[in-house]
């Protein structure tokens, strides 16, 4: 076994480390190429602008879009807000109804709650025990007032991948705009906005080994053309949809991260699937049970339930050596059971006894084996204490 560097990071759904190749690409734009991409009267601004457009082209190509359809934001949360608030405002004459799912990220759910507070109607679709919506139910709740559908591409807790193409087909059949939060998908699995009939798509650089603080919103330009209202006002940057001085180093890093992902995703997925399957197989020997879809989930995701063992007890026992997360959203004062696991029909005990493991690019098989042994040892030790 090769030497393992501690602590081992296995929380890649929360964020990813910056790939050194991404940092190398970004560095000149912090120093000698520091221009404002909107200042085109001199070479500093021109070089920055060229770099931004080069990154925009790389990102667009990776998802099957045109470069003019990529709007840079601060991240997927802002992209979600622009997509939902801007679209429901722009197309208010069409109706006031939006369809989403109970297991969306808080960036979507909190935005839909706000929309409800200003008079919009929102339908929250339930999920089955694998984290999937019922497509027939989706179609049945569409009304003449429905403006848009917003369904997450891949779930951040259990990794379940939605049938995005089928959802897009349903949306377009009924002349409804389709948005997907793809923060966990882009850079990890194949995404093509054209073939999947996606009209709006949110994603972030820091989920794919890029920098924090930069993201994008894909906005379909033709068939149909979609144009959400602005929710940030200022200098009119980004097609007057998202004003503000562009984060040039972040955008350059974003483009580089996507470029690397396009080349390496296939080999990574093969490696990650092998490792996550190995982990699950070993955890099942001590009573572990999978949360999520057995096959149709992100290769680097593993959400496991250990009956009778609180997730925080496992996490605390290994935290000096291994970084993983609980299956519940925690704050400093309260611990709430995961809304995703509860929506799957599980009770609070299961929600409080589940851990999420997110494998990443720089992990090694030795780290995975060490983690397996450490978690199993932790589960066995806690079980003895409880007895």
Q: Where residue 280 sits, what CATH number does that domain have?
A: 3.90.1150.10
Q: Which of 238, 259, 280 is the last residue of a domain?
A: 259
Residues 108 and 294: their CA atoms lie apart, in Å, by 26
Q: Does residue 1 lie within any of the structural domains?
A: no
- pLDDT at 329 (0 to 100): 46
Q: Does residue 3 lie within any of the structural domains?
A: no
C-beta separation of 364 from 2 below 8 A: yes
Q: Which of 259, 285, 301 is the last residue of a domain?
A: 259
Phi–psi pair at 304, nearest 5 degrees: -125, 140
C-beta separation of 268 from 45 below 8 A: no
Q: Does residue 2 lie within any of the structural domains?
A: no
State whether 110 and 237 are in the same domain.
yes
- pLDDT at 335 (0 to 100): 67
State whether 156 and 241 are in the same domain.
yes
Kindly state the helix (H) or strand (E) to which residue 203 belongs, with its residue range.
Answer: strand 200-204
Q: Does residue 298 lie within any of the structural domains?
A: yes
Q: Does residue 168 lie within any of the structural domains?
A: yes
Q: Does residue 141 lie within any of the structural domains?
A: yes
- pLDDT at 327 (0 to 100): 57
Q: Does residue 194 lie within any of the structural domains?
A: yes
Into how many domains does the chain fold? 2
Two tokens, residue 342: 């509860």
The label of the residue with tokens 């609180």 reads 310
Residues 161 and 60: their CA atoms lie apart, in Å, by 21
State whether 273 and 168 are in the same domain.
no
State whether 288 and 201 are in the same domain.
no
State whether 243 and 309 are in the same domain.
no
Domain span including residue 273:
8-17+265-386
- Cα R_g (the chain), whole angstroms: 21
State whether 271 and 216 are in the same domain.
no
pLDDT by 10s per residue, the chain, length 387: 568 999 999 999 999 999 999 999 999 999 999 999 999 889 999 999 999 999 999 999 999 999 999 999 999 999 999 999 999 999 999 999 999 999 999 999 999 999 999 999 999 999 999 999 999 999 999 999 999 999 999 999 999 999 999 999 999 999 999 999 999 999 999 999 999 999 999 999 999 999 999 999 999 999 999 999 999 899 999 998 999 999 999 999 999 999 999 999 999 999 999 999 999 999 999 999 999 999 999 999 999 999 999 999 999 999 999 999 995 444 434 568 899 999 999 999 999 999 999 999 999 999 999 999 999 999 999 988 765
Kindly state the helix (H) or strand (E) to which residue 278 belongs, with its residue range.
Answer: helix 248-284
Q: Which of 259, 277, 310 is the last residue of a domain?
A: 259
- pLDDT at 328 (0 to 100): 47
State whether 275 and 203 are in the same domain.
no
Contacts of 96 (CB under 8 A, 6+ apart): 88, 119, 120, 121, 145, 147
Asked if residue 203 has a cis previous peptide bond (ω within 30° of 0), the answer is no
State whether 173 and 74 are in the same domain.
yes
- Angle at alpha carbon of residue 374, lines to 369 and 376, rounded to 5°: 95
C-beta separation of 68 from 225 below 8 A: no
State whether 335 and 226 are in the same domain.
no
Residues 19 and 362: their CA atoms lie apart, in Å, by 9
Please give the DSSP secondary-structure letter assigned to residue 85. I
Query: How far is Cα of residue 225 from the mean position of the Cα atoms in its chain?
Result: 25
- pLDDT at 247 (0 to 100): 97
State whether 221 and 148 are in the same domain.
yes
Please give the DSSP secondary-structure letter assigned to residue 27. G
State whether 185 and 274 are in the same domain.
no
- pLDDT at 280 (0 to 100): 98
pTM metric for this prediction:
0.96
Which residues are catalytic, by number? Answer: 330
- CATH number of the domain residue 77 falls in: 3.40.640.10
State whether 322 and 254 are in the same domain.
no
- pLDDT at 2 (0 to 100): 66
């Amino acid at each position: 076994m090769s030497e393992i560097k501690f602590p081992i990071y296995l929380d890649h759904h929360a964020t990813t480390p910056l790939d050194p190749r991404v940092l190398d690409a970004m560095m000149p734009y912090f120093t000698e190429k520091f221009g404002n991409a909107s200042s085109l009267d001199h070479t500093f601004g021109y070089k920055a602008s060229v770099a931004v457009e080069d990154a925009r082209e790389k990102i667009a190509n990776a998802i099957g879009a045109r470069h003019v359809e990529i709007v840079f934001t601060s991240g997927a949360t802002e992209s979600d807000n622009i997509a939902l608030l801007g679209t429901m405002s722009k197309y208010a004459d069409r109706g006031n109804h939006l369809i989403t799912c109970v297991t969306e990220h808080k960036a979507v759910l909190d935005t839909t709650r706000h929309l409800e507070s200003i008079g919009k109607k929102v339908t929250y679709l339930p999920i089955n025990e694998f984290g999937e919506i019922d497509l027939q139910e989706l179609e049945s709740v569409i009304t003449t007032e429905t403006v848009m559908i917003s369904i997450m591409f891949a779930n951040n807790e259990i990794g379940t991948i939605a049938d995005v193409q089928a959802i897009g087909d349903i949306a377009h059949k009924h002349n409804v705009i389709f948005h997907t939060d793809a923060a966990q998908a882009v850079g990890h699995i194949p995404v093509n906005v054209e073939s999947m009939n996606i009209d709006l798509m949110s994603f972030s650089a820091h989920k794919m080994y890029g920098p924090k603080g930069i993201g994008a919103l894909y906005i379909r330009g033709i068939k149909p053309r979609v144009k959400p209202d602005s929710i940030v006002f200022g200098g009119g940057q980004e097609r007057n949809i998202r004003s503000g001085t562009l984060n040039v180093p972040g955008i350059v890093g974003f483009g580089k991260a996507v470029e690397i992902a396009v080349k390496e995703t296939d080999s990574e997925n093969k490696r990650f699937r092998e490792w996550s399957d190995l982990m699950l197989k070993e955890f099942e020997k001590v009573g572990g049970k999978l949360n999520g879809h057995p096959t149709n989930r992100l290769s680097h995701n593993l959400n496991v339930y250990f009956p009778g063992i609180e997730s925080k007890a496992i996490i605390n026992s290994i935290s000096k050596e291994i970084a993983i997360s609980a299956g519940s959203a925690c704050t400093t004062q309260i611990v709430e059971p995961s809304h995703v696991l509860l929506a799957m029909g599980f009770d609070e005990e299961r929600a409080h006894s589940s851990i999420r493991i997110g494998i990443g690019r720089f992990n090694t098989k030795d780290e995975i084996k060490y983690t397996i042994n450490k978690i199993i040892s932790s589960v066995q030790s806690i079980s003895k204490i409880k007895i």
